[in-house]
């Protein structure tokens, strides 16, 4: 099985510069729980230049959530803001930085893997 979260952060690090974040500077730390284990991912942004590390250094914004939840956000199956409003994860510090960072997450998928409309769209067919 592919590790969507690892793949996302590795691709982000490989790009080095993210045009969608060209006006952003700050740091985020994701503390992802997978069972009893906590997996840290540190993202530093300086005017769109992005570096990624696997440490628990101090950050402007700290996101604590389950790894599976972040995987659903990264695949467009879960809306990050909706999950936050349902209190499925916690954010400490500069939440605005996370809101801007979410630009890198894909939008909702209109069709599921079976070719049927997904979620809200399915109800209105």
Other C-beta atoms within 10 Å of 18: how many?
Answer: 17
- pLDDT, residue 55, reads 85
Each of the 125 residues of the chain gets a pLDDT tens digit; together they read 469 999 999 999 999 999 988 999 999 999 999 989 999 999 999 999 999 999 888 999 999 999 999 999 999 899 988 999 999 999 999 999 999 998 888 776 655 556 555 554 444 44
For residue 48, the domain's CATH number is 3.30.1050.10
Backbone angles phi, psi at 76, to 5 degrees: 80, 5
Q: How far apart are CA 47 and CA 17, in angstroms?
A: 9
Q: How far apart are CA 28 and CA 113, in angstroms?
A: 32
- pLDDT, residue 113, reads 59
Domain holding 66, by residue range, is 4-123
Give the count of domains, the chain: 1
pTM of the model: 0.81
- pLDDT, residue 115, reads 55
């Amino acid at each position: 099985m592919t590790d969507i979260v690892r793949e996302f952060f590795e691709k982000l690090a490989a790009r080095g510069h993210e045009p969608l974040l060209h006006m952003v500077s700050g740091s985020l730390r994701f503390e992802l729980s997978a069972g009893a284990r906590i997996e840290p991912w540190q993202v530093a942004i300086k005017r769109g230049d992005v570096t990624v590390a696997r440490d628990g250094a101090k950050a402007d914004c700290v996101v604590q959530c389950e790894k599976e939840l972040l995987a659903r956000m990264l695949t467009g199956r879960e809306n990050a803001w909706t999950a936050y409003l349902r209190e499925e994860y916690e954010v400490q510090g500069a939440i605005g930085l996370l809101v801007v960072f979410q630009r890198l997450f894909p939008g909702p998928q209109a069709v599921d893997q079976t070719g049927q409309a997904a979620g809200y769209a399915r109800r209105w067919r």
